[in-house]
Amino acid sequence: MDWDVYNRATAAMYEGRPKETLWLYQSLTDNVETEDERAVLLTACGGCYARLGNREEAFHCIAAAHSLRVVDSIVRSQIDLAEGNLHLLCGDYERAAQMFTEIAISYRDELGDPEQQDFAQELKSRYADSLTFLGRYSEAIPLLRELVAANSEYRQRSLLYLGICLANSGSIAEGRDALAQAARGEDAQTASEARERLAQLI
């Protein structure tokens, strides 16, 4: 597989161009050399379909990736994580939380690898999201505090959910502070939701 094209497609996704990204990924379909590469490509296409709102096709891609004989455990972990994220996106928070728990157990060694910290942070963030939506605030709060302290790319969203969890747990002042910090973040959508939540506490 031409990894330069793959990386260019991934960059386009981060820049908010999922249609272009999907086209680039699909252009690589006939050039994959191993089942691991095909699984990576299918998982990436699933992410694009999810961004485009076609959840049925997204799940189809993930199922196809699962059906392959994948050798690399990191690739398997990313397929599982992508499936968990899809359940989260679809509002099946119980199933998402269950999957994230299973991933943490199944890939304990990989998650402990310093080179896989991006994987570890994303898993922790998604699990905390699912716990927040399930109203399991006391379980979500410690994870969200860790994410905020790590100053990762998930910090602003973690502050938003931390504020929600704290406020719903009775820690109104601390929750208000977390929401205020989220409202000052760079992501406009997260900041807007934080302001809305903040207004509800006043």
What average pLDDT score do residues 191-200 get? 91
Name the average pLDDT for the chain: 91
Report the pLDDT value the prediction gives residue 59, as an integer from 0 to 100. 94
Mark whether 40 and 101 lie in a shared domain.
Answer: no
Mark whether 111 and 146 lie in a shared domain.
Answer: no
Quote the domain boundaries for residue 109: 72-134
CATH number for the domain harbouring residue 17: 1.25.40.10
Cβ proximity of 55 and 90 under 8 Å: yes
Task: Give the number of domains in the chain.
Answer: 3
- Name the least confident of 6-15, 41-50, 72-81: 6-15
Mark whether 154 and 171 lie in a shared domain.
Answer: yes
Q: Counting beta carbons within 10 angstroms of the beta carbon of residue 107, is it exposed (0 to 12), middle (13 to 18) or buried (19 or more)? A: buried
Confidence tier at 4 by pLDDT (50, 70, 90): confident
Among 108, 134, 160, the domain-final residue is 134
Confidence tier at 83 by pLDDT (50, 70, 90): very high
Mark whether 24 and 44 lie in a shared domain.
Answer: yes
Mark whether 10 and 46 lie in a shared domain.
Answer: yes
DSSP assignment letter at 111: H
Is residue 19 pLDDT above 90, yes or no?
no
Mark whether 163 and 176 lie in a shared domain.
Answer: yes
Better-scored residue on pLDDT, 6 or 50: 50
Mark whether 95 and 54 lie in a shared domain.
Answer: no
Report the pLDDT value the prediction gives residue 195, as an integer from 0 to 100. 94
Mark whether 142 and 155 lie in a shared domain.
Answer: yes
Among 29, 49, 69, the domain-final residue is 69
What average pLDDT score do residues 133-151 get? 93
Among 86, 109, 134, the domain-final residue is 134
Mark 139-172 as b/e (b = at least 16 C-beta within 10 Å): bbbebbbebbebebebbbbbbbbbbbbbbeeebe
Is residue 202 pLDDT above 70, yes or no?
no
pLDDT 10s digits, 27-74: 888 888 899 999 999 999 998 898 888 999 999 999 999 999 999 999
Report the pLDDT value the prediction gives residue 60, as an integer from 0 to 100. 95
